Amino acid sequence: MNINLPSAGGKYLRSMTACGRIKAKHLKGVDVETLELIAPWKSKGRVKVTLSPADKGIHFHLDVHGPHYYSAEPPEANAKISQVKEVCSRLIGKPIEVKATGRFAVPMDEFGDDTAIGLLSKLIVGSQAQGRLVGSLYEIDDEPVSTIQWQFVEDENEIRVSVDSLEDIEIGIDYLERLASPLAAAFRSVILEKGTDA
């Protein structure tokens, strides 16, 4: 049984990180060594898994970077995607305390003047100075999502968004999808203003 890679987030999702700790009491009979594997995914994308000792357990870190995540060449791969999935499959059924982060990017021209970001990022001209809001951090009271942060990147003329969540869940084949879904829903609702079903 292999962990599926995320599809939630659609065309705007650039990367996803799931970083957590599995307690030692849940690792009996599991062969876990310290490692870092990087596998190619979707042409220039990469999937990286890291396992390392943690306080009374192991640290399990999984990054999924899409092909548009890297501005330069992606890091060199040292494994196949099947090897990454095999390592992850050893942890299926284990409970984990995990922080998940989804990173999204949206071209600025997709925000109309009537959207929050469209309004907030307008150039404000005063008698002595001019300026604009180029980013914001929202604390979200909608578990598991905890924060949403956006920033205008002038060189790319896009808004980059980071959405964080904290959860205690069990690792399954749909581990990343279950983590990605609330991140993508919060992104659509707060940033795109399209509601959680859009």
26: which DSSP letter? G
How much is the pLDDT for 128? 74
Residue labelled with tokens 């050893």: 90
Helix (H) or strand (E) holding 158: strand 158-170
Cα–Cα distance measured from residue 19 to residue 88, given in angstroms and rounded to the nearest whole number: 13
- 127 CB-near residues (< 8 Å, 6+ apart): none
192: which DSSP letter? I
- 87 CB-near residues (< 8 Å, 6+ apart): 35, 37, 49, 51
pLDDT confidence bin for 197, thresholds 50/70/90: very low
In this prediction, residues 165-178 reach a mean pLDDT of 94
Q: Would you kindly state where each structural domain of the chain is located, as residue ranges?
A: 13-192
Considering only CA atoms, which of 170, 146, 167, 149 is closest in space to residue 94?
A: 170
> Mean pLDDT, the chain, as a whole number?
87
Per DSSP, what are the bridge partners of residue 58? 22, 53
In this prediction, residues 162-189 reach a mean pLDDT of 93
pLDDT confidence bin for 173, thresholds 50/70/90: very high
pLDDT tens-digit readout, 135-146? 889 898 888 999
pLDDT tens-digit readout, 42-96? 878 899 999 998 878 899 999 999 888 888 888 999 999 999 988 898 899 999 9
Measured distance between the N- and C-terminal CA atoms of the chain, rounded to whole angstroms: 31
